[in-house]
Amino acid sequence: MKPTVMQALEEWKDASDQLQECAVNALCLALPGLGPHPTPSYCCPVTLSINKPGEVGDGRICVDDDTRATIELDDVPNDVIAEAVDAVFGIGWFDQTEGPLEDEGPGTYNYDDEQTGAEYEVVLGDNDTHTGRVHISYVPVPYAAELLDAITTARERQTPEPASG
């Protein structure tokens, strides 16, 4: 290989590594408690995990070579999901919805983004658990960070301040 081609590829690799680092930083800032997790050999180059059931969820986020994220969060409070999704997408954006997600009740709601190729699925759990899940595949990191930040913001807004004594 010509030295100029080798140098160009090294520069590309450095830029790609920097992009991955920035993606991880943005995602971790958007969802406090998210941190590095060992990456299985079959998975993306970066895996992050969180374990805050009843707060913001339990699960993982992977970032692939094209800097797209796959989010798999379970045990997210239904009210947090509904508020975050409506804040990011607007009212009635997902399939099977007519109004605010919080008014739709338990069920599975989907949205396929033709522009980015991302596939969104949110599940509002039954009235016994009051928790659901957020599973998104192939979403650009900026969109993933926006939704994770909305989840964090919704949870912070819905968590009552401790009484001062």
| Prediction pTM value | 0.89
Report d(CA 28, CA 36) in Å as an integer.
9
Total tally of structural domains belonging to the chain: 1
Residue 164 lies in a domain: no
Q: What is the pLDDT of residues 73-91, one digit of tens each?
A: 999 999 999 999 999 998 9
Report d(CA 94, CA 121) in Å as an integer.
9
Q: Looking at residues 59-79, what average pLDDT do you find?
A: 93
- 92: domain range? 3-158
Residue 163 lies in a domain: no
Lowest model confidence (mean pLDDT) among 8-12, 85-89, 96-100: 96-100
**pLDDT for 43 beyond 90:** no
